[in-house]
Amino acid sequence: MWFKNLRAYRLTKPFDLSPEQLGEQLSRSGFEPCAKSQPLSLGWVSPLGGESESLVHAANGRYLIALKREEKLLPSTVVREQVEEKVVEIEADQARKVYRKERLMLKDEIIQDCLPRAFSRSSQTYAYIDTRTNWVFVDAATAARAEELLNILRDNIGSFPVLLPQVNNAPLATMTGWLAHRNLPDDFELGHECELREPSEEGGVVRCRGIDLLSEEVETHLNTGKQVARLSLCWDDRVDLVLAEDLCLRRIRFSEELMKENDEIPEADNAARLDADFALMSEAISGLQDRVIALFGGEVQ
């Protein structure tokens, strides 16, 4: 349940649904497994796992939710091979050319025929709404997965106005300055990974991993005009992360000391442990998000 990625969105107006009201709305789109010929199924599940039926877990004004995604795995190479076989068969039997429109129809027919026999893959995307600070946090490595959850949530509750945070100081320039001038904020430590990018649209990209980011090698790239687009950091000895120019936090790892604070809770009491872990994690995320926004001069008003 500990988030591995963090995409933050700012609610443009207060969230006024209670946990019970939100759960009732989400129940309209509860998860159902894929039907035989259905390639994808999306729906809400309990964020506390199979032992709970509640679709919303609330603690300290924060509402934790989970979207389950099941998709059929149908390799494109398999579909393409079967389409070609069918095309060859038709052209040989009927002595005519099979054109694009018919190829697309054949592809659709083959996909529908293969779907009932395809394997399925499931995953869950977690998010929580902080009603006290008007932030929404989604555990998603890509914008597409985060937007998928937000769009379904918006469909269920009618309106969910959110925006990506806008900051006063450009992240590219600020992160570049940290390395170029060696003035990283005191509560952060450099990791051993960064991505450097030339400012032009067709500019090159250099990825550095496992090296000293204050080394001459990195400095040489910075002197040629490259900018820092991603940077691995450790915040306050509590959270390791990779900070990107879009303010997304990737590959988050919470410290062992933080994650062990609830070890006194018996393993058998799974619900209590999940509740306590969520409280710990969300407090750490709130502090980290406030700090990240402050690093870039605060939000644009």
Instruction: Based on the fold, state whether residues 55 and 143 are members of the same structural domain.
Output: yes
The answer to whether residue 258 sits within a structural domain is: yes
Degrees (nearest 5) of the Cα angle 262, 233, 185?
105
The answer to whether residue 106 sits within a structural domain is: yes
CA dist 47 and 67 (Å) reads 8
Residues 262-271: tens digit of each pLDDT: 888 776 677 7
The answer to whether residue 2 sits within a structural domain is: no
Instruction: Based on the fold, state whether residues 22 and 66 are members of the same structural domain.
Output: yes
Instruction: Based on the fold, state whether residues 150 and 126 are members of the same structural domain.
Output: yes
Instruction: Based on the fold, state whether residues 126 and 206 are members of the same structural domain.
Output: no
Instruction: Based on the fold, state whether residues 188 and 238 are members of the same structural domain.
Output: yes
pLDDT of residue 273: 82
pLDDT of residue 252: 96
Q: What is the pTM of this model?
A: 0.85
Instruction: Based on the fold, state whether residues 201 and 257 are members of the same structural domain.
Output: yes
Could you say which DSSP state residue 225 is in?
A: T
Residues 8-40: tens digit of each pLDDT: 999 999 999 999 999 999 999 999 998 888 888
- The residue assigned the tokens 């914008």 is 143
pLDDT grade, residue 274 (50/70/90)?
confident
The answer to whether residue 1 sits within a structural domain is: no
The answer to whether residue 300 sits within a structural domain is: no
pLDDT grade, residue 80 (50/70/90)?
confident
User: Between 55 and 120, where is the model more confident?
Assistant: 55
Q: Where are the beta strands (DSSP E) in 172-272?
A: 188-197, 205-209, 227-235, 239-244, 249-254
Instruction: Based on the fold, state whether residues 158 and 43 are members of the same structural domain.
Output: yes
Pick from 116, 148, 181: which residue ends a domain?
Answer: 116
Instruction: Based on the fold, state whether residues 32 and 128 are members of the same structural domain.
Output: yes
Our count of domains for the chain comes to 3
* Cβ count near 163 (within 10 Å): 9
pLDDT of residue 288: 96
Residue 200 has which token pair? 């032009």
- Residues of the chain above pLDDT 90, percent: 67
Residues 167-180: tens digit of each pLDDT: 999 999 999 999 99
Instruction: Based on the fold, state whether residues 89 and 150 are members of the same structural domain.
Output: no
Beta-carbon contacts of 15 under 8 Å, excluding residues fewer than 6 positions away, are: 63, 129, 131, 134
**82 phi-psi bin (left φ>0, alpha ψ -120 to 50, beta other):** alpha
The answer to whether residue 205 sits within a structural domain is: yes
The answer to whether residue 11 sits within a structural domain is: yes
pLDDT of residue 120: 82
The answer to whether residue 107 sits within a structural domain is: yes
Instruction: Based on the fold, state whether residues 206 and 258 are members of the same structural domain.
Output: yes
- Residues of the chain above pLDDT 70, percent: 99
pLDDT of residue 268: 63
Instruction: Based on the fold, state whether residues 151 and 11 are members of the same structural domain.
Output: yes
pLDDT at 149 over 90: yes
Instruction: Based on the fold, state whether residues 19 and 92 are members of the same structural domain.
Output: no
* Pairing mode, strands 188-197 and 57-59: unpaired
pLDDT at 77 over 90: no
pLDDT at 50 over 80: no
CA dist 150 and 219 (Å) reads 40
Pick from 131, 163, 195: which residue ends a domain?
Answer: 163
Helix axes 100-114, 76-94, angle to 10 degrees: 130
Residues 81-115: tens digit of each pLDDT: 888 888 888 888 888 888 888 888 888 888 887 77
Q: What's the domain range around 92?
A: 76-116
